[in-house]
Amino acid sequence: MIPTYVEYSIVAGGLLQSIDLDALVDEYYIKSVGTITLTGPVSIIPDAGDTPINGEVTKFRWGSPCILNGNTIDVYGRELTQKESLSKLIIECRYNGASWDVYVSPDTKAALADEVKRNTWDGTGDTVDLVPGIDARTQVYITAVPVAAIASYVVQIDAGYVPVEGDEMIVKYEAEITIGLNTITIFGITVPAVQALSGNLEFRTVYDLDTTTWVSSCRVLLDDNIYRVMGSSADILPAYLDSKVAKSITVASDKLELDGDVLAPGNGYYYGTHPTTGVKGWHLIASNTLLSVDLQIPHTEILTLNTIPVEIVGNPGVGKAVMCISYSVSIKGTAGVVVPYITNTRFELKTDTATQPQIYEVRSLISTVDRTSLELNVGSLALTTDTMIIPNKSLYATVDAGNPGGGAAAQILTIHLIYRIIDIP
């Protein structure tokens, strides 16, 4: 025998329906067009004129997602909860000789069929409102081919849905979309541009009754793409780092470094191309090469130049020394006015541990106006036991005897030095 069933439709205003117990119906199907926000009640009852017999069964298949909106849904005396009314159900009503026992269970066939839904995006943008219990619990978003977005995408829980504790939805993002100036937002989380192109994201949102909020999270489903980078916001193709670097930047042992770099090149080396071979890397500065350095010394460091000298040129290495050629000193105050320093104002360039400076200058620290002085005063009065140029030592800026006093907070001393590295056997 072919099973018989009868359909009843629910509309926004609700449904008041009595069931003929004498009718030869195997199943009643309660349906609606989409999700209904009720403005009236739903009541399904046995016909008052019929007399049920003990063990008689009426079976309903519930396929009408309804938002209660303060109304009730009653099936043979059993009220459905909000979550039940939005779910696909099998409702079995059995007469026990005195009253109807109503058993509500998930429609497993429908649930299995709707457990996962695949959706294809084409880049035109969309706003997707999901309803737990009606929409498949897991939504998968894909692209048939990589596309460029011309509008934004939003996936969210339907604002009209009244959630209950434990409601959960899952979204798997497996698309390949160049978002440009647009965005992809899933459960309130914005997808980064590189992941919008590589996919493999899983978003989950769960309703927390204690805080009355949807709690969302995202995790990356591991694959090769998570190790790829993009060169800039204009880049459209992620790739591994070694294909994104260029010129003097390379990848060695999975780390960025300069082409020809070494961990500790040593003192007296420069990075660049070799003067004869053109090879990139660290190369020893040739002896007698003219070099220069500019350095600013603020007021606070001027006041401690004797006790805390300022390094001008670093240690050139064993057998090599710093030799000063010439230098100028600039002092700058506020609006052209300099507050002079007092005591210990002979400014010196001195090799570490030397007893005499290589060059000294006597005007800048006592100046009353902005001034640049060029000095070539060499420590020619050194005694036979004094030292001046010493190998394997740094060159410092200092003052004689003790720290200066006076001056003003905004003042800056600038050194312009020309020097060379010489070999001392």
User: What is the distance of C-alpha 273 from the center of its chain?
Assistant: 37
pLDDT in tens, 67-82: 999 999 999 999 999 8
The per-residue pLDDT of the chain, averaged, comes to 89
CA atoms within 13 A on the CB side of 61: 15
Query: Smallest Cα–Cα separation from 203: which of 177, 169, 176?
Result: 169
- The pLDDT, as a whole number, for residue 285 is 82
- The pLDDT, as a whole number, for residue 108 is 65
Distance between terminal CA atoms of the chain?
Answer: 114
- The pLDDT, as a whole number, for residue 70 is 93
- The pLDDT, as a whole number, for residue 83 is 85
- The pLDDT, as a whole number, for residue 310 is 97
Q: Which residue has the tokens 């039940």?
A: 84
Confirm whether pTM is higher than 0.75.
no
Separation of alpha carbons 61 and 5, rounded Å: 10
- The pLDDT, as a whole number, for residue 112 is 47
pLDDT in tens, 190-218: 999 888 988 889 999 999 988 999 999 99
Q: Pull the structure tokens for residue 8.
A: 């009843």
Q: From residue 85, how far is each of 26, 36, 38, 42, 73 by CA, in Å? A: 22, 10, 11, 11, 8
Which residue ranges in the chain fall short of pLDDT 70? Answer: 1-3, 108-115, 133-134, 222-227, 236, 375-382
Give the CA dihedral 299, 302, 304, 308, nearest 10 degrees. 120
